[in-house]
A and B are shown apart, each in its own frame.
Chain A
Amino acid sequence: MGNLFKIAIRNLLRYKRRTLLTASLITIGVVFVLAFVSISGSFKNMMIGQITDSMMGHLQVHRKGFVASIETLPLNLNLKGGAIGRLEKILNEQPEIEAYSPRVKFAGMFSNFTETSSIRLTAIYPEKEFKTVPLLPGRVTDGSKELKPGGILIPELLARGMKIKPGDAVVIVATNADGSVNGKQFTVTGVMESATGPGGRDGYIHMDDARELLRVDGQQVSEYAVRLKEFGNLAAFGEKLDGLLAKELNQQGKPIFELHTWEKLSPFFNIARMIDVMTFFIKLMLIAIVLISIMNVMIMAVYERIREIGTIAAIGTLPGKILSMFVIEGFCMGVGGALIGDIVGIAIVYILNLLKISYDFGQQKGIILQAGVYPSDILVISATVIIVSIIASLQPAFKASRMEPIQALRHV
């Protein structure tokens, strides 16, 4: 095998300019794909991070039917006493979970005593919530990041529109599960930006206040947001937890809980998927570049060396070995192109990171691009190039191996 490689490399070096051009084409392709995968991957990870770490958590558990009616935030579909205990017991037993946060979600009217507007409120235990969505405090742009009973974090949209600032008094009026209307005065603790854009009417209050406002005895929870230790483990853990929750049945023998990962709850999952689709098509373009350039070179190589093929066939070289000779040439070109492309690609990504390029996402301004090259990306791209190089060499190599020596020797 070593001799086949020696002959292949010498044959490639025999046509230095052509080999260099083809390898350069592959290298450029690999560099572009690697850079695109790194940048788009970094953007995707940042976007997912923003959605999950500042708002949603990695996955959420609700009472069965809640998500279908989520637009109205129905209080009658909240989890209560026994179900909460059973769910928390399950969550506490899972080593994959880093933190979870119970929430009560409801809609209300928000007033600064002169104007009134609608608001969506999430009642939380701040310590648990901030562990589950650690970027949430970072969304507070004005005022305190601490949320104590009696305080409220209001959305920027309402603060600006109704000219409210931290320290101002506001009133929340909400209808409880029985239909009675209750009100409570709050002090604005902080103003927070939306995770996803300039819209948004989501505010946060303390769970104790929600209980008082909604006149709830005992515990009630609309949803549990869950944060995992390893985000990459989401699909497998989601499946596992779903299986465990499915065993929890109500008195009618129907499941009590429903589980949704962030992907099923956020429209941003579609953007993440679009990035994946774009990456896929960029990789397809790389495959086309490698396929066409290697095939072209190998067809030329076979054509130019017909007499040599005839000679080695005449002196007894078996067709399989002739095939191997040409396939190894394509393989070497693929390996060379991929290797140089990987090195240049990593260098370019490193330089991009040094340049500290910034961009905006939603309300987040000046996010610094942190493109990362993952070993898995390098492996997949390199393996793709090498496999395609081998495939591209197969047809010309097969043609060479099937050549009749007598005809090949006559070739001028």
Chain B
Amino acid sequence: MALISANHISKEYRVGEMAVQALSDVSFEIEPASFVSFVGPSGSGKTTLLNLIGCLDKPTKGALTVAKTDMASLDRKASAAFRGRTIGFIFQDFNLLPVLTVYENIEYPLLMVQKVSPGERQRRVTALLDAVGMADQRDKYPDQISGGQKQRVAIARALVTNPKLVLADEPTANLDHDTAYMVINLMKKMRNEFKTTFIFSTHDQKIVGEAETIFTLEDGKLSGAKSKGGNGNG
């Protein structure tokens, strides 16, 4: 069964008196453990779509199901709880908490979102620090590490709760080319290791090639789907 099922979803924003159609009649399905990319130029609707999948926003029309849950049925508190349980986020600007160390940033969701025992927390955080190659930087604060290292920490933070799905909105936009490749490859490695579905958006054509399934968005519409491994079907 598909992990994500979007059925004719649309999203309309109101900017003053004007209605802006960010997404229009988009349908697709994504299988578990996929490595998927949404590509398209700026303003094509990538971020809007990731926000809908990430339960940060609700579609104006259509039905969106993530991990067997109808996104429209969740209220504010239930949405937060669902995100904490099911989804990991990687942000373009890394969005690490500046007052927490690398270790504490990764530990944060286990501590503040899920109530995980101290022993289990330590086990999971240490394993992920090793997996993303940041074990030797564990006590540093975000302003003491590089952009690529920050994104590695963000990946570890997104995975620490064992989510079904990790969403990354332009995760390489603020990184140089080599670091961007390293981050994408790390995400792929994590997918292989943890069997977590990774969905990322990008407009960097060189990075896009690393995805196994590519959905192309143009002007809020899904204009194409290409699958290397057959996991996506649009």
Q: Which residues from chain A sit less than 8 Å from chain B, CB to CB?
A: 3, 7, 10-11, 14, 307-308, 310-319, 321, 405-406, 409
Which residue of chain B lies nearest to A410 when distances are taken between CB atoms in the complex? B47
* B28 interfacial contact with A, CB 8 Å: no
Distance between Cα atoms of A7 and B112 in the complex (Å):
11
List A contacts of B76 (CB < 8 A). Answer: 319
List A contacts of B93 (CB < 8 A). Answer: 307
List B contacts of A316 (CB < 8 A). Answer: 80-85, 87, 109, 113-114, 161
Q: CB-CB contacts of B14-54 with A at 8 A, as 1s and 0s? A: 00000000000000000000000000000000000001001
Given the interface pairs A14-B98, A318-B80, A319-B76, the reply to whether A406 lies near B113 with Cβ below 8 Å is no
List B contacts of A317 (CB < 8 A). Answer: 80, 84, 112-113
B157 touches A315 (CB 8 A): yes
A318 touches B81 (CB 8 A): yes
B99 touches A314 (CB 8 A): no
Given the interface pairs A316-B85, A317-B113, the reply to whether A406 lies near B56 with Cβ below 8 Å is yes
Distance between Cα atoms of A307 and B97 in the complex (Å):
10
Given the interface pairs A7-B100, A314-B89, A316-B109, the reply to whether A406 lies near B57 with Cβ below 8 Å is yes
In the complex, which residues 184-208 of chain B have their Cβ closer than 8 Å to any Cβ of chain A? none
Q: Nearest Cβ distance between residue B48 and chain A, in whole angstroms? A: 9
B56 touches A11 (CB 8 A): no
B51 touches A10 (CB 8 A): no
B112 touches A3 (CB 8 A): yes
* B111 interfacial contact with A, CB 8 Å: yes
For the side of the interface on B, what is the size category?
A: 20 to 34
Distance between Cα atoms of A299 and B87 in the complex (Å):
30
Q: Nearest Cβ distance between residue A299 and chain B, in whole angstroms? A: 19
Of the candidates B99, B109, B114, B158, which one forms a contact with A7 in the assembled complex, judged by CB atoms under 8 Å apart? Answer: B99
Q: Can you report 22 A-B residue pairs in the complex whose CB atoms are below 8 A from each other?
A: A10-B100, A307-B93, A308-B98, A310-B95, A311-B89, A311-B91, A312-B97, A312-B108, A313-B80, A314-B89, A315-B109, A316-B80, A316-B82, A316-B84, A316-B114, A316-B161, A317-B113, A318-B80, A318-B81, A319-B77, A406-B57, A409-B56
B91 touches A409 (CB 8 A): yes
List A contacts of B98 (CB < 8 A). Answer: 14, 308
Distance between Cα atoms of A315 and B76 in the complex (Å):
13
Distance between Cα atoms of A20 and B109 in the complex (Å):
30
List A contacts of B112 (CB < 8 A). Answer: 3, 312, 317, 321
List B contacts of A406 (CB < 8 A). Answer: 51, 56-57
Of the candidates A14, A313, A321, A405, which one forms a contact with B99 in the assembled complex, judged by CB atoms under 8 Å apart? Answer: A14
List B contacts of A10 (CB < 8 A). Answer: 99-100
Distance between Cα atoms of A317 and B14 in the complex (Å):
28
B97 touches A314 (CB 8 A): no
A319 touches B80 (CB 8 A): yes
A315 touches B84 (CB 8 A): yes
List B contacts of A312 (CB < 8 A). Answer: 97, 108, 112
Of the candidates A7, A14, A314, which one forms a contact with B83 in the assembled complex, judged by CB atoms under 8 Å apart? Answer: A314
List A contacts of B85 (CB < 8 A). Answer: 316
Which residue of chain A lies nearest to B97 when distances are taken between CB atoms in the complex? A308
Distance between Cα atoms of A292 and B226 in the complex (Å):
58
Distance between Cα atoms of A312 and B77 in the complex (Å):
13
List A contacts of B81 (CB < 8 A). Answer: 316, 318
In the complex, which residues 90-146 of chain B have their Cβ closer than 8 Å to any Cβ of chain A? 91, 93, 95, 97-100, 108-109, 111-114
Q: Nearest Cβ distance between residue B197 and chain A, in whole angstroms? A: 17
List A contacts of B77 (CB < 8 A). Answer: 318-319
* B56, B87, B98, B108, most chain A CB atoms within 10 A: B56
Which residue of chain B lies nearest to A408 when distances are taken between CB atoms in the complex? B56
Distance between Cα atoms of A268 and B161 in the complex (Å):
70
Which residue of chain A lies nearest to B96 when distances are taken between CB atoms in the complex? A311
Distance between Cα atoms of A319 and B112 in the complex (Å):
11
Distance between Cα atoms of A399 and B168 in the complex (Å):
27
Distance between Cα atoms of A311 and B77 in the complex (Å):
15
A405 touches B97 (CB 8 A): no
B95 touches A307 (CB 8 A): yes
Distance between Cα atoms of A312 and B111 in the complex (Å):
12
* A10, A310, A315, A317, most chain B CB atoms within 10 A: A315
List A contacts of B114 (CB < 8 A). Answer: 316
List A contacts of B100 (CB < 8 A). Answer: 7, 10
Distance between Cα atoms of A314 and B56 in the complex (Å):
7
Distance between Cα atoms of A310 and B97 in the complex (Å):
11
Distance between Cα atoms of A405 and B111 in the complex (Å):
20
Distance between Cα atoms of A317 and B76 in the complex (Å):
11
Given the interface pairs A7-B99, A307-B95, the reply to whether A314 lies near B54 with Cβ below 8 Å is yes
Q: Nearest Cβ distance between residue B117 and chain A, in whole angstroms? A: 14
Given the interface pairs A316-B83, A319-B76, A406-B56, the reply to whether A11 lies near B99 with Cβ below 8 Å is yes
Distance between Cα atoms of A131 and B54 in the complex (Å):
82
Which residue of chain A lies nearest to B82 when distances are taken between CB atoms in the complex? A316
**Besides the contacts A11-B99, A316-B114, what 13 more A-B pairs have beta carbons closer than 8 Å?**
A7-B97, A14-B99, A307-B95, A311-B95, A312-B112, A314-B54, A315-B108, A315-B157, A316-B82, A316-B84, A318-B80, A319-B76, A406-B51
